[in-house]
Each structure stands twice: as structure tokens, then as C-alpha cells.
Chain A
Amino acid sequence: MGAGRKQSRGTKTFLCITENESRDGTGNPVRHTTQPDTRSYNAKIGIWVCLAAEFMLFCRLFSANIFLRMRATH
């Protein structure tokens, strides 16, 4: 067959990927082209965003601890 793309209807799931995409090891479509206005790759953005969350998390944990230490009377 070759030409054209098969697409699922109903319950059948076929992977449908376009020219500048491929699948990763578990069948997920991945796009190869990078975003022109960020010139970055997904994982890099993801890690930075994740770091922001971790920063908020641990800041609060440590500051709560310091707060407790400062106020504790015994």
C-alpha cells in the first residue's frame, strides 16, 4: 500500500505520524523539528520548569524548619 495514511475510526488505534515525526520506544509520536522561537528541546524546558517547582517546594520546607527552630523554646 504505502501511500496515504491510515487513521483509526472507532476503537482501532493506529499510529499516525507525519513527516517530521517519529515514535519513541513505546509508540509515542515525537516531533523532530525544534520550535523556532525557543531553539530548545523539550527535555530542557521540562527540567527548568520542574526545577522552578522544586525550588518552591524546598524553599518552603527549609524555611518552615528554620522558622520552627527560631521559635522553639525547648
Chain B
Amino acid sequence: MPQEKNEHGDPMEGSQGVGSTVTARESGHHEHQVELSWWRRYVFSTDHKMIGIQYMITALFVTLFAFGLMVVMRWQLSYPGKPVPVIGPLLTAVFGANMAPGGVMTPNLYNSFGAMHGTMMIFMAVVPALFAGFGNFIVPLQLGAPDMAFPRLNMASFWSYFVGVVIMLVSFLVPGGAAKSGWTSYPPLADIADTGMGFEPILNGQTLWLIGMVFNITGSLLGSINIIATIIQLRAPGLEWMRLPVFVWSELVTAFLLLLAFPPLESAAILQLMDRLFGTSFFSPDGLVVGGRPWPASGGGSALLWQHLFWFLGHPEVYVTILPSMGIVGEVFANNTRKPLWSYKMFVYSMLAIGFISLLVWAHHMYMTGMGQSVSIFFQVFTIMISIPSIILGTVLLLSLWGGSIRFSAPMLFALAWLPMFGIGGLTGLPLGYSASDMVLHDTYYVIGHFHYMMAPAALMGLFAGMYYWFPKATGRMLNEFWGKVHFWMTIIFFNGIFFPMLIQGYAGVHRRWYDGGAGWQMAQPVLWLNHVMSISAWILALGQIPFIINFFWSIWRGKKVESDNPWQATTLEWATPTPPGHGNFLHPVEVYRDAYEYSVPGASRDFLPQWEREESRVAEPKLSSA
């Protein structure tokens, strides 16, 4: 099919369709059926589904890469100063003899791996996969929309993100290596890092980190504008607010958080960039002395200013990672317990409350900075307040299980495991929320344990649940259930093997970011053996992902074909599309007649009533609509 077809589309063509169904005609001479070129279809696509898949694939790759960094770091933590086995020579070859002499990690290499692990995981893996990947693919389908509100903006947001990822990856290869100042990039350290002898003025780790972040943030902002406009504008007729699937709600809240919280970080990144490139001193204070010499900046800046700008994003950002996964878990719960969520309204209001309060708690990351008592009380109160909607949300999910006939499918296993992981993560947050107890726990492995329970077991469980749940819609084939269960057990067991000991070590006072894993600290000796438990768990966890990776690729081409457009017998609109949906999504105009989760309605012949069916359909099994 000649590709220029799509270039002379007449915008009003569609409304000339005769009658109610006739719009598509013969493809040969009419623009209604347009075959796009390979580039427009797979690379510079404006189709929300392809963009979602692009996001997902890129983000999964980044996840694997950033996990790989940690797998290497765990060696250094367990066996400080010993050459890394197997890939040691590779480290020396790639990062040079002064970063990894003889395959041993130097502190600089360790720091850059650590900083990049955090940065890439949070900003470029978990959020793009959950918010943008699933958000792009699923939200328009669940709304009954033909595409996002702004398809070309959507493409721009993906490519902006992609450029950010490439910049981050390239920064490993510049002289001096990637950024080393942590994912938080605190100045004045970050202002002076990677400057001077042996560093390029722009092509150095920290500067590239900032530039990469500006691209990434720009992409996120465009994406969140698009999600918000889509949800507000493109709901199908009848899809009132309180009929929206919970995943759509979670995306809406997340998008607002990104929209309001990311710009301050973008401005902070620009200011730090100016500090580094143009000699301003937004973040470098008076009288800064580096290496025995006064730092050549005019001073007067404030390092605390950065912390405020950073955590104003940073805290909402952590909810950005967890909210979409809450939404996914809600979907999977309703579908696999075969009953409505115990209280849809409470679920939605809790998410709204979490979203709102999370904009008011950022300084709980800064109790140690010497803030006054009234400021500290303000932030303590709101921090503890946020646990109320969190607990309500967990309770809604727990009660939803009550009396359900639970299908223990692979997505449901991941969703079920999400709940206790979220519980541990939330409960360990409470002692951090009070400044008195945070004083001792701040910057220990306890904090690392706390947030990983949220971000790794919880957020990633949501990711996998969504993956196993929606894979058939995207590909027309199921992921293998047996290997899904193997993947699940490997993942859940070894996640806990990694993160639970962190809480114990943190209680014993082991500090985060220590290059030798606490070996040099007398008080840490009784808990040092846990380093081996954690490292071995991390390595087995890596092995445990192999079934998933093989299953993923195998199932794309060889997996069991779905027999209906609605293989899970679900109620939400994404299952009303053909499998996989084409550009434009729906074959007929959809209309919504009921709430999102009408499962096991008394008196109905089937145990689910889809949102798009006016009367209960007499057909036992919906068939593929597009044979």
C-alpha cells in the first residue's frame, strides 16, 4: 500500500458515512483505510497503543539495566574490595582502569552505579512503565476513546523521554563516568561534582544527569497534560465520573501530581545546570571551601533551597510510582474475585486524598535539616494523615476478597502479593513520619528498606499484575500461566530476601550509601552476615526474571491464542475492542450503561455484566469480533 495515502486525509471525511455503520470503504482509493509506512507505524507512531508499547519496552529495558547495576553493587557490599566475578573484566574494559582496576569497584564507580540505579529506576523505569506504558495503552481503551486527546503530543512525550534515557546511558561512557551524587543530587556536592581536572565542561556525569532529567521531565509533563485532557474530554457517552474504572482514576490523580510537582524539579535542574555551566550560585552558599581552596562562586545560595524544590517533587513522585499500580491491583481484584470492589467510592476518594495530601508532606525528608518546631509539626501531622487514606485503600482491597470466588490466576497472584508488601512499606513509613524517631532512622538502611517495599515489591507487583492481565489484549495471546506462577514465587520470595534484612540492618544503624556495606563499622559487625542473604537473594531474583523474559517473547509469537475478545470475562471497556485493537480502537460507537465492576449480579445468567451491554447478552461466550 503506498504510504502517501495518509497525507491527504480530509478531516471531515468520517462524517460523510452513510447510515450508522458505513464509514470504512475499500482501501485502494479511499483514505479511510490507510496503511501507514513502517516508520509511522512502529517508530514515529501517533497511535496511543503503539506509544504505550514503546514506553513499556523502553522502560522494561531500563528496569533490567538499573537492576543489573544493583546486582553488581551487591557484590561489592558482600565482598568489599574483591574483584567482581564474571563481569569484572568487562567493568575494567568499559569504565577504564581507574574506575575498575582489575575488576574491583572503586568508590567512584560504586557511587555512580548507586546514583544511576535510583535515578533510572524511579524516573525512567517504574514511572514510565506504569504511568505512561499502561496509561497510554489502557486509558483510552477504558474510556471508549479512539485515541489520546493529542496524539502528536503523545509521540513528542515518548521521544523526549527516550532522549533522556539515551543521555543517561551515554553518561556512563564520558570521562569520569556517570553522576555520583545520588538520585537526589544534593548540592553543594552536586554543584562541584564532576568538575575540574579530568572532566569535560558539559560531557560529564552530573551535567548530563541534569540535561537528561530536563528531557525526561518535559516528556512527563507532556504526557500528563495528555492524560488529563483525555480523561476529561474523551469519556464515552454514559461513562460518568463514578463509572470510571479505578485504573483511570489512578492515572488521573497521578497525572495531576506529575503536572504540579515536576515543574519545580525542572526549574531546580535548570538552576543547578546554570550553577555548573554559567557560574551562578543558586545552591552554593557563602564561604564554600573545596579541597582546601575557596570555591569560585559568588555564594549567597542555599543548599536547602534545592532540597525543598527536590522533595516538593520527590514525595509526590513516590506516590506517582504507587498509584497506577494501586489502580491495576483494583482492576485485577475485581475481575478475579468476581465481585465488585468492596467500596468503589472509598477506593476513589482515598486515591484523591492521597494525591492531595502528598503535595503537603515533602519536608518529612528534611527533618534533619534543623527546621523549626512548628514547621516540623505541620509536616508530621500531614505525613501521618496520609496513612489514613492509605489504610482505607488497603482495607477496601482486603474486604473485597471476602466471600469472593477467587481465581488464582497469575495476575491475581501478583495483585494479592501487592497487598502485604504495601502494608509493610506503609507501616515502616510511620516511624519515619515522626521527627523524633526519624532522627535515628534517617539515612540508614531502614529508610532504604521502607521505600523499596513500596517501590519494588509493591509497584513492581502491580506492573507484573498488569502485564499478565493485559498482555492478551495487546497481543492476542496469553502469557503462559505455569511459568507466570514460577515467576511469581521466585519474585515474591527473593524480594523479601533482599528488603527485609535492610530493615534489620537499618535498626542496627548501618548507614545507606556506604561503599563497604558497613564492614568498616564496629557496631555493624553482628548484622553484616545479612549482606550475604541480601546479595544472594538479589542474584536469584535476577535468575527468577528469566522465566518471565522467555515467557514474554515466546508468548508474543507462540502463546496460547485468545478465544474471545474478553478472555478474563471482564466488565470494562478495553475488552470491548477487537484483539489486538486497530488504529481507532472500536468497531462501533460505544456507549456505557452501568458501573465499572458489575460482577455476580443476582439474577443474571453470567457472573459479569460488561459496561457496554445495554441488555444482558444471551450469548454465553463473546466471540472474537474480527475474525
Contact = CB atoms under 8 A, between A and B. Distances in A.
Interface in B33-84: 33-36, 40-41, 46-47
Contacts of B152: 26, 28
Contact of B11 (A15, A23, A55): A23
B586 to A, nearest CB: 6
Interface in B210-226: 221, 224-226
B252 to A, nearest CB: 11
A13 B47 contact: yes
Contact of A72 (B36, B298, B587): B298
B587 A27 contact: no
Nearest to B220: A53
B520 interface: no
A14 B35 contact: yes
Give the secondary structure class of B's interface.
loop
Give the secondary structure class of A's interface.
loop
A16 B584 contact: yes
Range class of the B interface residue count: 35 or more
B26 to A, nearest CB: 5
A15 B41 contact: no
A68 B281 contact: yes
Contacts, number: 222
A1 B26 CA distance: 6
A9 B579 CA distance: 8
Interface string B146-174: 11011111000000000000000000000
Contacts of B228: 45, 49
B289 to A, nearest CB: 16
Interface in A1-36: 1-9, 12-36
Contacts of B240: 37
Nearest to B48: A28
Contacts of A56: 259-261, 263-264
A50 B13 contact: no
Nearest to B281: A68
Interface stretch (B15-23, B494-502, B506-514, B526-534): B15-23
Nearest to A38: B232
B17 A27 contact: no
Contacts of A27: 6, 9, 34, 36, 40, 46, 583
A25 B11 contact: yes
B270 A61 contact: yes
Contacts of A38: 232-233
A32 B234 CA distance: 10
B236 to A, nearest CB: 9
Given A14-B35, A19-B20, A56-B263, A29 B298 contact: no
Contacts of A74: 298-300
Contact of A61 (B153, B271, B299, B586): B271
Interface string B248-283: 000000000001111110111011000000001110
Interface of A: 1-9, 12-38, 40-42, 45-46, 49-50, 52-58, 60-61, 64-65, 67-68, 71-74
Interface of B: 6-7, 9, 11-15, 17, 20-27, 31-36, 40-41, 46-47, 145-147, 149-153, 221, 224-226, 228-229, 232-235, 237, 240, 259-264, 266-268, 270-271, 280-282, 286, 298-302, 305, 309, 476, 578, 580, 582-589, 625-626
Given A23-B34, A61-B271, 15 more contacts: A8-B582, A17-B146, A19-B589, A24-B151, A25-B11, A26-B6, A26-B9, A26-B152, A28-B147, A31-B146, A35-B232, A53-B259, A57-B267, A64-B309, A72-B281
